[in-house]
Amino acid sequence: MLKRKGLYKHCNSLLTFDRSIRKYKDVSNEKENFMAKKNILVAPSILSADFGHLAEESKKLEEAGADMIHIDIMDGHFVPNLTLGPKAVAAINKATKLFLDVHIMVYQPFEYVERLVESGADRITFHFEATEDVEDTLNFIRKCNCEAGLAFRPETSREFIPKYLDKCDLILLMTVSPGFGGQKFMHDVLEKVKFTRDWIDSKNIRKHGKVGSNSIPPFDIQVDGGVNLETAKLSIEAGANVLVAGTYLFQQPDMSLAIKHLKEVKI
């Protein structure tokens, strides 16, 4: 615990830096308020973009009407693949004003938090299965003035979810096995989405895990993997309100129109 106490102290010191130097984005700013007014949020996954032109791809997503950019980070251990890291997050951050939704598929996620916060992450979502220190990691992310999300693999029991609903800002339910793009949507996960939304509603848990009235925006449930118009409809019907889409969006001739259609899916 000594090491972790030191990290908490260091994270506090980071937040005293001049924001014009660090370009740290305050997640309570107008960007978040704009997002909160929307019913369905679309988060294009930059994993499907051209890695050689991340700045240009980020600007394209912003111009196309994306609500945020979903950035996957993998360590080659928790999942077999290796992908982007903090330097790529920083490069994307310089290129766009969009909310950066960073999903880390790594063991020991606690050790990544500071570097990602410094790089411009607005939300850091890590996997329940990747650490025994779930609450410590959620608390540390929030202490760094960053939103904290918790992800669950498709095979993980839904019974682990309720414990953390008032301790995080988002639940991510993977609808494919993490680590690879272009997989088919796992329909079995829809039952887990519905279970989570029903539990949230029964306990009146709202945005950011707050318990309160309906005047507070709804708690965010994100689905990631195999999302297209058909599976988006099913996911929204089950209770998801944040859609991560990669392969589907980047294959469309008109991304603006594709994002618009996802946001306007009728249920």
What residues are labeled active site?
Answer: 72, 224
Quick one: CA torsion of 142, 209, 47, 182, rounded to 10 degrees? 150
Q: Which of 220, 52, 43, 216 is nearest to 149 (CA)?
A: 220
In the numeric block, which tokens belong to residue 185?
């949507």
Going 171 to 177 to 179 to 183, the CA torsion angle's sign is negative
Q: CA-to-CA distance for 82 and 105, rounded, in angstroms?
A: 10
Going 184 to 226 to 52 to 76, the CA torsion angle's sign is negative
**What is the total residue count of the chain?**
267
In the numeric block, which tokens belong to residue 13?
């010191």
Q: CA-to-CA distance for 98 and 92, rounded, in angstroms?
A: 9
Q: CA-to-CA distance for 96 and 16, rounded, in angstroms?
A: 23
Question: Where are the extended beta strands (E) located within 85-235?
Answer: 99-105, 123-127, 147-152, 170-174, 220-224
**Other C-beta atoms within 10 Å of 16: how many?**
7
Number of helices and strands in the chain (H, E): 11, 8
